[in-house]
Amino acid sequence: ANDSDDTDFDGAGLSRFAFNADMGAGAGFDETIAAADAVMKINGIEVTRSTNNFENVIDGLSFSIKDIGTSTVKVSQDLGAVTDRVQGFVDKFNALQSTIDSLAGFNSEAGVGSLLTGDSTVRALQGQLRQVLTGVVPGLENANVRSLADVGISTDPSTGALEFDREKFETELKNNPDDVTALFAEQGRATDGQVEFVRSGTNTQAGKYDINVTQVATQGKLVGGSGVADTVTIDDSNDEFTLEINRDISVNLKLAQGASVSREALVADIQAQLDSGINAGLSDSGEAVQVGLDSNNKLTFTSGKYGAESSVSVTSVESGTAFGLSVASGEDGQDIAGTIGGQVAKGDGQVLYLGADNGPASGLQVRVLGDQTGNRGSINFVQGIGKSTVDLVNSFVGAEGKLDTRTSSLNRELEKIQESQVKLDVRIESYRERLVKQFSSADSLISRLNNTRDYVTQQLDALAPQNFNKK
């Protein structure tokens, strides 16, 4: 708030619009409410955010804080919505079955078949769908819910349509939610509490796969060169430094100045700036950095990311002697390494995964937490009827699927028929031309014979009177 009197904090002129905590009462603007982060406790666990919106605190839930107080949040299953979606699945299948019947069915009363009656591809689709929908789901052999029949979905033997008992389904969903989920959707069940199923691939087969870790994932970490004293002085000479996080995020920090600042307060100030929205590059990326002190009171900066891309380095610093900081790079993180189902897997942070062409577990991905190497139990991958049905239908109707192959085969047969028709037309034309020639020749011969007959007749008629007179 520069003004003409060269005094910026005297409460006169433009200085009235200035704010400085050291200004006297009535001079400039006064701070009436200090800014503070929002704090919420959920089941005794304190959570802090720079705004009043709390996301990802509980999976699938977001909280918007309106006032200070205590509230109770109850989360329950919407059984009706889940049941409606299963009813939709049943209805879609029955519509498909009706379409197949109209195209490939046989009317026994009229003795008339449809366009695709007896087609091997259609019969294969019907048979394989029936097998998927009536059989036990691989991986659920020992579960409380093993097949659609266990949740109230049965098949009408006379029509092949599905019938749905909503009441039985809701009862099983309430009593065995995990098994019902696995019945329809893919699921990975790990025996180790720190191993999580991430996803499967197109070619992942249902089954049990052992997990073995030879190298745990680590985080990038930077440790100061020397310990921080009990108290430090922060002023214009040492209040700024810049960190580079995970090689692509630059964070500039400006410390609060003061004399006799405790090292704990220093750590809290740095952590607060890293956690706040001041550094948009860090907050927008969802990355985090944890600040602390080691046993020798050296500052430590640990990236919240795991793997080879995790790193922390100091790229610029004023006089960092008091904090033990200098321009330096920390120790980079490492990706996890190990095997899945006996196959050597690749690592990306804490995620261990198999690429294509790695046997039955191809495409399987798991996240391994903790720092324990060696045997980490196993994961039982259940594909689920929903995914099995989608994969089966795609194998028929997708690009280069069975129907595509069958269509190509029929098109080739049509082309051959068309080629045969052309050849037949040529042969018919050639035969017609030959018959025409033969007819023309025969007609010419008949004409000559007729002429000869007429000539002979005339000659005979001419000779007849002479023969009569001689007698």
| pLDDT for position 381 | 93
The residue among 154, 157, 158 whose CA lies nearest residue 108 is 158
pLDDT at 6 over 60: no
* Residues 359, 324 share a domain: no
Alpha-carbon distance of 159 to 306, in angstroms, equals 55
pLDDT at 314 over 80: yes
- Reading the block at residue 348, the tokens are 């990306």
Report in angstroms the alpha-carbon separations of 23 from 9, 20, 38, 330.
7, 5, 29, 42
* Residues 115, 159 share a domain: yes
Residue 22 maps to a domain: no
Question: Exposure pattern of 389-424 as b/e (b: 16+ CB <10 Å)?
Answer: beebbeebeeeeebeeebeeeeeeeeeeeeeeeeee
pLDDT digits (tens, 9 = 90+) for 107-131: 666 667 666 777 777 788 878 888 8
CB–CB of 215/383 below 8 Å? no
Alpha-carbon distance of 359 to 209, in angstroms, equals 11
| pLDDT for position 11 | 55
Greatest Cα pair distance in the chain: 177
The residue among 37, 465, 16 whose CA lies nearest residue 271 is 37
Q: What is the DSSP string of 301-342?
A: EEEEEESTT--EEEEEESS-GGGT--SEE-BPP---EEEETT
The percent of residues in the chain predicted with pLDDT above 90, rounded, is 43
| pLDDT for position 135 | 87
- Reading the block at residue 283, the tokens are 């907050």
CB–CB of 186/304 below 8 Å? no
pLDDT at 471 over 60: no
* Residues 151, 294 share a domain: no
Residue 45 maps to a domain: no
Contact residues for 153 (Cβ-Cβ < 8 A; gap 6+): 86, 90, 133, 162, 163, 164, 165, 169
CB–CB of 169/153 below 8 Å? yes
- Reading the block at residue 167, the tokens are 């009441």
Reduced to 3 states, what is the DSSP secondary structure of residue 193?
coil
> What's the structural domain count of the chain?
4
* Residues 450, 321 share a domain: no
pLDDT at 106 over 80: no
| pLDDT for position 278 | 52
CB–CB of 302/289 below 8 Å? yes
pLDDT at 422 over 60: yes
CB–CB of 142/176 below 8 Å? no
Alpha-carbon distance of 393 to 384, in angstroms, equals 14
* Residues 341, 325 share a domain: no
Lowest mean pLDDT among 22-31, 74-83, 319-328: 22-31
| pLDDT for position 49 | 79
CB–CB of 15/3 below 8 Å? yes
* Residues 321, 226 share a domain: yes
The residue among 261, 262, 244 whose CA lies nearest residue 253 is 244
Contact residues for 415 (Cβ-Cβ < 8 A; gap 6+): none
| pLDDT for position 160 | 84
* Single-letter code of the amino acid located at 13: G
Domain ranges, residue 443? 417-471
CB–CB of 79/174 below 8 Å? yes
Residue 70 maps to a domain: no
Q: Which residues pair with 63 in a beta bridge?
A: 54
pLDDT digits (tens, 9 = 90+) for 129-143: 888 888 888 888 888
* Residues 211, 227 share a domain: no
Radius of gyration in angstroms for the set of CA atoms belonging to the chain, rounded to a whole number = 43
* Residues 293, 238 share a domain: yes
Domain boundary among 329, 354, 388: 329
* Residues 230, 306 share a domain: yes
Vertex 71: Cα angle to 65 and 77 (nearest 5): 100
- Reading the block at residue 50, the tokens are 């720079």
pLDDT at 223 over 90: yes
Q: Which residues pair with 317 in a beta bridge?
A: 241
What is the bridge-based pairing of β-strands 61-64 and 337-340?
Answer: unpaired
Residue bearing the bigger pLDDT, 462 or 106: 462
Alpha-carbon distance of 28 to 15, in angstroms, equals 6
| pLDDT for position 17 | 61
- E strands, 132-200, are 153-155, 162-164, 187-190, 195-199
| pLDDT for position 287 | 76
Residue 7 maps to a domain: no
Residue 119 CB burial class (10 angstroms; 0-12, 13-18, ≥19) = middle
* Residues 358, 309 share a domain: no
Lowest mean pLDDT among 87-101, 124-138, 238-252, 400-414: 400-414
Q: What is the CATH number of the domain that holds 315?
A: 2.60.40
Span 13-31, average pLDDT: 57
| pLDDT for position 285 | 58
| Per-chain mean pLDDT for the chain | 85
Classify the C-alpha dihedral 75-194-300-305 as positive or negative: negative
pLDDT digits (tens, 9 = 90+) for 346-373: 999 999 999 988 999 999 999 999 999 9
pLDDT digits (tens, 9 = 90+) for 150-193: 999 998 888 888 999 999 999 999 999 989 988 988 889 999 99
* Residues 211, 223 share a domain: no
Residue 309 maps to a domain: yes
Alpha-carbon distance of 385 to 131, in angstroms, equals 11
Domain boundary among 184, 205, 235: 184
pTM for the predicted model, two decimal places: 0.67
Lowest mean pLDDT among 17-21, 146-150, 260-264: 17-21
Residue bearing the bigger pLDDT, 469 or 76: 76
pLDDT digits (tens, 9 = 90+) for 394-405: 777 767 767 777
| pLDDT for position 345 | 96
Residue 293 CB burial class (10 angstroms; 0-12, 13-18, ≥19) = middle
CB–CB of 334/217 below 8 Å? yes
Q: Residue ranges of the alpha helices (H) in 187-279?
A: 263-275
| pLDDT for position 28 | 58
Residue 143 maps to a domain: yes
